[in-house]
């Protein structure tokens, strides 16, 4: 199988809704976002972060890393989709179609 197949390359999406009423909750929210960014995630929408992964095995590593720093409260969802599926996302701003702003792909050396 081709190493760069659009069916082998994965996108990991982290969707979250975290409380921010108290100082403690706000800190947990900020820490969670910073941890996502440190792990190579990019903001796709306000509470949706995405990360490009070269394989499902690599996506699993990052999924487990996100699980390791989940906040105490709030909801977090993790979705893994193929590059082909990610490429078929349709975005709209109002009724106008908007180009998908794909975060820069990272070069991974192993």
* Structural domain that includes position 61: 10-98
Residues 27-61: tens digit of each pLDDT: 999 999 999 999 999 999 999 999 999 999 999 99
Structural domain includes residue 59: yes
pLDDT at residue 110 in the model: 44
Number of domains in the chain: 1
Structural domain includes residue 110: no
Contact yes or no for 78/85 (Cβ under 8 A): no
Dihedral sign for Cα atoms in the order 94, 81, 64, 75: positive
Is residue 5 over pLDDT 80?
Answer: no
CATH number at residue 71: 3.30.70.240
Structural domain includes residue 2: no
Dihedral sign for Cα atoms in the order 70, 71, 77, 79: negative
pLDDT at residue 102 in the model: 65
Contact yes or no for 41/74 (Cβ under 8 A): no
Distance between CA atoms of 37 and 31, rounded to whole angstroms? 10
Contact yes or no for 21/29 (Cβ under 8 A): no
CA gyration radius, the chain: 15
Structural domain includes residue 4: no
Structural domain includes residue 107: no
Structural domain includes residue 74: yes
Structural domain includes residue 43: yes
Distance between CA atoms of 104 and 100, rounded to whole angstroms? 12
pLDDT at residue 53 in the model: 96
Residues 52-98: tens digit of each pLDDT: 999 999 999 999 999 999 999 999 999 999 999 999 999 888 888 87
Contact yes or no for 54/9 (Cβ under 8 A): yes
Structural domain includes residue 33: yes
């Amino acid at each position: 199988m081709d190493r760069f197949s659009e069916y082998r390359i994965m996108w990991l999406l982290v969707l979250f809704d975290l409380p921010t009423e108290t100082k403690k909750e706000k800190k947990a929210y900020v820490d969670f976002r910073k941890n996502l960014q440190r792990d190579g995630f990019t903001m796709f929408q306000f509470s949706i972060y995405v990360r490009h992964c070269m394989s499902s095995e690599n996506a699993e590593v990052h999924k487990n890393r996100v699980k390791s720093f989940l906040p105490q409260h709030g909801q977090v969802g993790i979705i893994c989709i193929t590059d082909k599926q990610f490429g078929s996302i349709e975005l709209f701003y109002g009724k106008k179609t908007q180009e998908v702003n794909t975060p820069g792909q990272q070069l991974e050396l192993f």
